[in-house]
Amino acid sequence: MKLDHLNDRQRQAVTTTEGPLLVLAGAGSGKTRVLTHRIAYLIKDKGVPPYQILALTFTNKAAKEMRDRVNSLIEGDAGSSVWVFTFHGFCVRILQAEIDKLGYQKGFIIYDEQDQQSLIGHVIKDLNLNDKIYSKKMLSSVFSDAKNHSLKPERFLSETSQPDPVIQAYRLYQKRLKEANALDFDDLLLKTIDLFEAFPDVLEKYRDRFHYILVDEYQDTNLAQYHIVSMLAKKHRNLCVVGDDDQSIYAWRGADIRNILEFEKDFEGCTVIRLEQNYRSTSKILDAANEVIANNRGRKAKKLWTAKTGGEDIDVHESDDERDEAYYICSRIANGVRAGARYDNYAILYRTHAQSRILEMMLKSFMIPYRVYGGTSFFSRAEVKDILAYLRLFLNPADDEAFLRVVNLPPRGVGGSSILALMAHAREKELPLMSAAGDPGEMPARIAAKFFPFLDMMAPLYAKLGTMPLSEFTEELLRTIGYDAYLRSDKKENYETRAEIVEELIGYIKEFEASYSDSDGDVLQAFLTNVALFSQADAVQEDNGCVNLMTLHSAKGLEFPVVFLCGMEDGLFPASQSRFDPEKLEEERRLCYVGVTRAKEKLYLSYVRERMLYGQRSSMMPSQFLQEMGNALPVNRSQPKQVFREPPQPKKVQESFHSYTPPKPTSQFTYQPVKAEPAKVQKRDFDGNVGEFVRHKVFGRGQILSISGQGSAKIVEIRFDNGVVKKLAAAFAPLEKES
């Protein structure tokens, strides 16, 4: 196999096949290339059967890219026999074959966050807990934290001194999951470990199968993932892990940086190879990244370098406040697009979701199309959840959460009191709700009759399941339940948008059917599993024709020609709760490193003097991370001040999937600006005084509280009659004095 196009260290990582190997792969250093070439090299040059190779990663997108690249490197379809999965996808594959040994049925359902919250809500009621103290959100967070930080969650809860009601709720939650033949996302890992520990012959079977194991993004592994890898690799010890401790940013969800920092201790005789040549960014961007991350103590030394020397200087911009910052960012994007750039060349990264609101408003005022990632995903939409709940009930009639969602959807006269009576009957008989509805027993006849129309409607659909493609069955289901009429009758929501979402789901099912190759498998179970394993990262499309907005955590693994890293202020980034905790501060610094290294050609860093933070307006100081990058930033960092401009108030836009596309022009005229400058705003003289009343075209009547600045920079603080206080640029705001 030709490896001439790899650099020396990449080639060494590909050909060092025996024994444990740690590849420290800096940002943009070609780790995916190393992994895929290593798999191809094992098959083509070492003669390893593809089915003896296991590759694990963290997103479906990364797994698909790896599979596609391996197939392109190997002639024929040998690459398709390699097991390339996310950790959770791998565990699902194992559990679908073996979970009956743990007392579950093989057709289990995977509960998402909404399902978990719903189930926990029923647990709270059944235990008569005070939901002000033991809320659904609180309990789900505690349960997930216990599962991510230990192998025995109930013991973890006891050892961390959780009160008895929390432990009782956890026990009942796990009991109800098993009764519904369901697992939550965290259970996928833990039940696999339970299986391997309780049935050594099962573990031995998979140890014998996988002679070579590769793990991507090893710095993101948690305790459970570490144990799964260690158990599987113990026999052959041909374990290759690739990662970057400088990009370990998920401690809050259980990732343990010690897994990569202590790999050499855990696997004796380990070889370590550092990939430090970066193929993504210019040297000026890498200099800033190297400067900031060098301040971390808990890391393995490495320094990125690139053959792409020079490049554009990093811009550091100070703004008055978050609106001024948003205006600056949008004007730079508008200028770039006028000069020939594409909107999707740009990414705006921020520390918290709350920062996106002002940015979105300003992007709309500039008529710039954008998409926000990390908000409501497609599979969390109510319409999609409705249809998936029906499909889940066909796969698993014991799924009580699915039953509760659809039994009165569309409305069919099943009220809350009838459902409570059914739930009490089901608990007494120890039956799933679906079964209890069909076996009313001592339930009052008038209540039992409420459920008969639903059961009568479902019976013929059960008979049709498997007799037609899944997409056709889903369309038949929607016709039978009258879902389109239900959407039309709901005046609270936009029918066209919701109907488009249903059509998109049907299209997605058709695409899945076309790509599903297991003729002996259950396509419905495979589809529902695919949906359950979908992550936000899988939704990101870097060439979507829109400016990309996302948190720094969501940006990991992505790259863009131009990146705006905004909100570079102490108290926001690094977050205030991290400043006095060395470990948390180091993770914040790694997050900064990730943000900087997303940029390929140009990086903007911005901060404000004043920001609305935690419900109050606060004075801000530049982030310490800017100071730490100091040697890599331009000597003269002063930038021309942007005068605050009140943006034109956008018309209300119907949004779909948290994105915005400007309306199409209604005429033949196409705007082509002569030069790349922001549109001029007509200035006006304002001679109001403190205490006087004024009227704003949008906000209405208000009283002037204070006036600061002179000329174009004059800022007027006004309390409007609705109680809102705003600071407006007097030279540009549409203000009129009341006579």
- The set of catalytic residues is 31-32, 216-217, 247, 598
Kindly write down the DSSP assignment for every residue of 613-676, as one continuous string. Answer: ETTEEEE--B-HHHHHTGGGS-S----PPPPP--PPPPPP---BTTEE-PPPPSSS-----SSS
CA gap 398, 392 in Å, rounded: 10
- SS3 for 539? helix
Contact status, residue 358 vs residue 326, Cβ threshold 8 Å: yes
Q: What are residue 571's phi and psi, to 5 degrees?
A: 95, -25
CA gap 527, 437 in Å, rounded: 27
User: How close are the terminal C-alpha atoms of the chain, in Å?
Assistant: 84
Q: What are residue 83's phi and psi, to 5 degrees?
A: -80, 105
- Starting from the edge strand earliest in sequence, which strands make up the sheet with 735-737, in order? 725-729, 715-720, 700-708, 693-696, 735-737
- What's the Cα-to-Cα distance from 520 to each of 471, 516, 517, 525, 533, rounded to whole Å? 18, 11, 9, 12, 21
Q: Return the HEC string of 62-120.
A: HHHHHHHHHHHHCCCCHHHHCEEEEHHHHHHHHHHHHHHHHCCCCCCEEECHHHHHHHH
Contact status, residue 50 vs residue 82, Cβ threshold 8 Å: yes
CB atoms within 10 A of CB 109: 23
Q: Are strands 315-319 and 599-608 parallel, antiparallel or unpaired?
A: parallel
Contact status, residue 474 vs residue 387, Cβ threshold 8 Å: yes
CB atoms within 10 A of CB 159: 11
Contact status, residue 42 vs residue 212, Cβ threshold 8 Å: yes
CB atoms within 10 A of CB 518: 8
Cis upstream peptide for 574 (omega within 30°) = yes
Burial of 121 (0-12, 13-18, 19+ CB in 10 A): middle
CB atoms within 10 A of CB 186: 21
Q: Would you give the DSSP letter of residue 678?
A: P
